[in-house]
Structure 1
Amino acid sequence: MPPFTLPPLPYPYDALEPHFDAETMRIHHTKHHQTYITNLNTLLSTTPTLSNLPIAEILTHHLSTLASEQQRGIRNHGGGHANHSFFWLNLASPNSTTLSSHPGLQTAIESTFGSTQHFQTEFETAATKVFGSGWAWLVLQPGGNLAVVTTANQDSPLMGKEVAGVQGRPILGLDVWEHAYYLRYRNVRPDYIKA
């Protein structure tokens, strides 16, 4: 059995309508995410010492120890797997989760950004400004502060500053690759971000 498998979504593909259409969710999950996993497992078959580790541990503690070609592959495919696994859990069916149901996080956001509206504006602006493909994140930085950051391609804040240019534990992540929204929103990324 390969070390990583496609995690099931905790909701049906059509649960996020009208914001995320079922066809995009199905393709995004079963094609894009599965491809990252397939390629990651192929890469890890040559490094059995890593194949039993959680993907977050590989990205956080072992990526920089690999030869450059394998590092690049695991960075892309391992990052794609980790980011998407996290992304699916960030999405919830309407009315199932609100920020007020997480009072500690709400307090931290209001303290850091001034209000939840200011946070939302900063997050949307950051996501809109990602050039090409990448991600927008709310992270808890090593010093304990919240920050809105972005990463390119499938980089993750788990990879650290030397690799991804940012560092932190993801709290919220938004995929801004076109494959996440193109069928519904075409090239209008800001509409997808607001949804």
Structure 2
Amino acid sequence: MFKLRTLPFTEIVGFISKETCEYHHGKHHQTYINNLNNLIKGTEFENKGLLDIITKAQGGIFNNAAQVYNHDFYWDCISPTQSAQSAALEEALKESFGGIEKFKEVFLNAATTLFGSGWCWVVYNPSSKKLEIKQTSNAQTPVSEGLIPVLVVDVWEHAYYIDYRNARPAYLEKFFSHINWEFVSKSLEAAQKDGIKSVAAYMDSLHA
């Protein structure tokens, strides 16, 4: 049985309200957990880890498992406190995008222009050994393609409508100023060292 992770904060002042956290985490994220637990009962996935389910399941089981992970990761990508990028992350952003300012421009544009509901990711590609920006719709996740997430922003309306109504660009600008760079740096380090195994390790740390 999967359980809803705890949040590392109850709100992020100036970014997301307590009401949004309670609604987004306590209702939406919880619903994906409940649905997943109900759907896997009596199936081959009943006692499988989250990565196994995401990479092998289809339909409703995949959708809910992926949304559990997508949300888990999103919550760790944001923080009420400022943190610094590691030297390795700074270098990767420079090599892949030309530096932090260019990265911000390209990333926020990709997140703004993603049509409908979905996610905008920064992933580590083990083949090119570079960072890439990846848009996914609905529950889709780059993990399915063997890409390793290091940062994600949720652009489903339920992530921001309470605080920003339909002004996605305003939400994204605030998101960028509250990125948990320490977590992103550690995610990149793990991705470079352990590849897809780092995704399994992250999932297991929350859903052992």
The answer to whether structure 1 residue 124 and structure 2 residue 108 are counterparts is yes
Aligned AA for 1:24? T
In the TM superposition, residue 79 of structure 1 has moved relative to its aligned partner by 1.1
- Scaled by the length of structure 1, what TM-score is found? 0.85
- Scaled by the length of structure 2, what TM-score is found? 0.80
Q: Is the 8 A contact 2:53 2:62 kept in 1?
A: no
> SS of 1:75's equivalent?
helix
Aligned AA for 2:105? T
In the TM superposition, residue 145 of structure 1 has moved relative to its aligned partner by 1.8
Q: Any residues of structure 2 matched to 1:98-177 within 5 Å, and which?
A: 98-99=84-85, 102-143=86-127, 144-160=129-145, 167-177=146-156
Aligned AA for 2:140? D
In the TM superposition, residue 18 of structure 1 has moved relative to its aligned partner by 1.2
Q: Aligned residue for 1:6?
A: 4
Structure 2 residue corresponding to 1:45, chosen from 36, 41, 47: 41
List alignment gaps of at least 5 residues for structure 2.
175-208
Aligned residues: 173
| Runs of 4+ with >4 A deviation | none
Q: Aligned residue for 2:63?
A: 76
Q: Distance in 1 between matches of 2:30 and 2:89?
A: 31
Q: Distance in 2 between matches of 1:35 and 1:107?
A: 39
In the TM superposition, residue 51 of structure 1 has moved relative to its aligned partner by 2.7
Aligned AA for 1:169? I
The answer to whether structure 1 residue 56 and structure 2 residue 60 are counterparts is no
CA RMSD in angstroms comes to 1.2
List alignment gaps of at least 5 residues for structure 1.
64-70, 161-166
Structure 2 residue corresponding to 1:32, chosen from 28, 38, 57: 28
Q: Is the 8 A contact 2:66 2:139 kept in 1?
A: yes
